[in-house]
Amino acid sequence: MLSSHQLLAKGHYTLKNIRLETGFEYENEEVIGTHTDLFCIEIDNGKIKAIRAHDPKEEAIDMKGRLMLPAFKDMHIHIDKTLFGLPWQALSPKRKTVADMIAYEQEIIPDLLKTSTARAEQLIGLLQSYGTTYARTHFNVDPTSGLQSFEHLLRALEHKQESFKAELVAFPQHGLYYTDSVPLMKEVAMYDQVDFIGGLDPFSIDGSVEKPLEFTVQLALDHGKGIDIHLHEAGPSGVQAIQYLMDKAIENPQLQGKTFISHAFALAHLNTKEVEEIAEKLAFAQVGIASSVPFKGRPLPIPELKKRGVHVLIGNDNVQDYWSTFGTGNMLQKANLIAELYGYATEFQLSRTLQFAIQDRLPLDDEGKQQWPRIHDDAQFVFINATCSAEAVSRMSTVHAFMHNGNLFVTY
């Protein structure tokens, strides 16, 4: 089903009958519920101008008691290449390796590029129907695509600029040296719209851990970009790549907080002590992990990473494409999966798990004090049919409306 939305208000206006979380309900020092109350919020020039108690008589847009939360962010997705908007297609059993998939992409990309802008917009519409207004999206840079995936994605984002924003990762999906993608990566790195330099399994695709990563790191340094590497390798080469990127971030402070390892499956195969050591180094180097929360095989040690201060980003990765058919586009579903996978079942734990969907301040801090929203905050919200964050995560509650830069849209 293709989803859409309609602009309801922009500029200066007021919303009433908004439900906000105000504190936790306790029993013997245990959180057993979440207190909420109704408010009016005045929006002006993309910011919150005022927050006041609900007045049913106020001339304002009635949100009918729906819960307001920070808008969701998908921090690992491929908007440029999707089958969304095309007839259903399951995966082929013939394509089992990354090399198989690269060969398949080389066949189909020319045809997919003909409609990639329209389908990217449709996929963005799906994300928005689930309350996502911001994404980190990778786009292919390879000899088959050239820079067309980038150009078409930019066009889609321009069409959606009132309601959606993305940061972009230049992704050499076909390898830097496995195919001759180095010149293209050097070219695309010069564009201001590119935020991160990507990479793919340096050892298994390009035959070396250091050579592709050295190129990637230097390209990022030369152009003031971040780094986001796809690392599926689970053996020693995966650990070596993680160590290499941590060392480079420590050597180059400008990369700290801007270097991410996507997937990082090697972490799931380490013992407890090894996880603790590498997590502490990741936190020290300010190297983050981006995950789609795979639930087959060994789970990633996300709780341990978070406990030691590692920045963990979550995203859908694939949404109805030829790599995977299981992505939904729903960040609440990802938070729900994390809660189930790691046993976060209490009111308090479920409310904390919302953080994986919003990548921002939670409405309540760990002590139950309201810390969001505040006057002058950016007007980036989602309005949910739920009574509190914990319910929204547990039930994957439906989204009624979202706001981006003060522009209010109703989903349908």
Mean pLDDT of 123-128: 96
Short-list 189, 109, 93, CA closest to 149: 109
Q: pLDDT by residue (tens digit) across 167-202? A: 999 999 999 999 999 999 999 999 999 999 999 999
Helices and strands (DSSP H and E) totals, the chain: 13, 17
Task: Say yes or no: domain 73-342 is CATH 3.40.50.300.
Answer: no
Confidence band, pLDDT 50/70/90 cuts, at residue 45: very high
* HSE of 288, CA atoms in CB hemisphere, 13 A: 18
| Confidence category of residue 93, pLDDT binned at 50, 70, 90 | confident
The token duo for 317 is 């990765």
| pLDDT, position 215 | 98
Q: Which of 291, 289, 285 is nearest to 244 (CA)?
A: 285
Closest to 137 (Cα-Cα) out of 122, 150, 128 = 150
Coil vs helix vs strand at 198: strand
Mean pLDDT along residues 1-15? 86
What is d(CA 141, CA 20) in angstroms, rounded to the nearest whole number?
43
pLDDT at 255 over 50: yes
Q: What's the CATH code, domain 5-71+361-411?
A: 2.30.40.10
Q: In terms of pLDDT, which residue wins out, 32 or 5? A: 32
* CA dist., res. 92 & res. 88, Å (int): 13
pTM greater than 0.85 (yes/no): yes
Of 233-237, 242-246, 251-255, 281-285, the poorest mean pLDDT is in 233-237
What are the tokens at 36?
């909420």
Whether residue 162 is predicted with pLDDT greater than 70 in this model: the reply is yes
Provide the CA 39 distance to its chain's centre, in angstroms.
29
What is the residue-averaged pLDDT of the chain? 96
In the chain, CATH 2.30.40.10 sits at: 5-71+361-411
Confidence of residue 335 (pLDDT cuts 50, 70, 90): very high
Identity at 66, one-letter amino acid code:
R
pLDDT band at 3 (very low <50, low <70, confident <90, very high): low
Q: Distance between CA 396 and CA 219 in Å, rounded?
A: 40
Segment 307-331 mean pLDDT: 92
1 — pLDDT class (breaks 50, 70, 90): very low
Closest CA relative to residue 32, chosen from 24, 42, 43, 44: 24
User: Which residue intervals of the chain bear CATH 3.20.20.140?
Assistant: 73-342
DSSP state of 9: E
CA distance 292 to 295: 9
